Amino acid sequence: MSAPEPQITVLDAGGQYCHLISRKVRDLGVYCEVRPSETPAASLRGRRGVILSGGPASVYEEGSPQIDRALLSLGAPVLGICYGQQLMAHLLGGRVERGQEGEFGLAELEVDAPGLLLADLPPRQQVWMSHRDTVSVLPPGFQRLAHTSSCTVAAMAHAGNQLYGVQFHPEVAHTRHGTQILSNFLFRICGCRRDWNPAGRAAMLEEGIRETAGERKVFFFVSGGVDSTVAFTLCLRALGPGRVRGVYVDTGLMREGETEFVRGIFQPHSGAFAVLDAQERFL
């Protein structure tokens, strides 16, 4: 069993929410991937849609994240979020103004013309802003979809070219109808089909572990954190306790109660797990 071909690609412009966007898309049942913003458009042919993430840069800064401009005429719908909207406007002949103080926090979005992106949403809704620059003049052919009291172009669209942008962050919980906005983009605009069920991911990963490990055994240093705990557990399920060994090293510099906490987590797997007391080596 292998992962399906991504229907959506999220291009990473350095934003802190990039992987959250990807997760939200998968939560809606659509498999997607994350790639660098400069990914060539030709390698994205066949995608049903592309999302440009936010980021801390300004489109006017030297070395700021860029995209292959051919992406905007590839034929696949594109959604720019925050910096992604600004970059889209900048490349297509709009105007982006440098912000002096920026806007960080909750704002009330007023919908001017919902189109497909904001369809079936209230005319006023809470959104989360985190930006400095703003789009002040729309690119030719674009229509303003929404605004806030301090952001003239909070959402825009060129429906004919399937290009969309939002200045706010639909991927965060503070944007009350953000999930619906992403759903509108995926299903109404991109025509995605649901091909991803997170519940089936574990079995796929376990099969991949067996293929990679072959007949070898696997040794882990585990910390009790999410990453190592999940990896260790998946390997145990895939290979069995006779082929997997996990060790937690107590250096004496751990947080109070951490070692006992980790010991408790792995107690059900005590035959494949051990705590190594290495305090004398470190202190």
Q: Which residues are catalytic?
A: 82, 169, 171
Comparing CA positions, the residue from 188, 171, 202 lying closest to residue 22 is 171
Vertex 148 angle, CA 147 and 153, to 5° = 35
Q: In whole angstroms, give the CA distance from residue 272 to residue 198.
A: 27
Answer whether 228's CB lies under 8 Å from 244's CB.
no
Q: In whole angstroms, give the CA distance from residue 239 to residue 256.
A: 33
Which residues neighbour 136 within 8 Å (Cβ) at sequence distance 6 or greater?
A: 95, 96, 97, 152, 153
| Tokens, residue 118 | 């904001």
Q: In whole angstroms, give the CA distance from residue 180 to residue 200.
A: 24
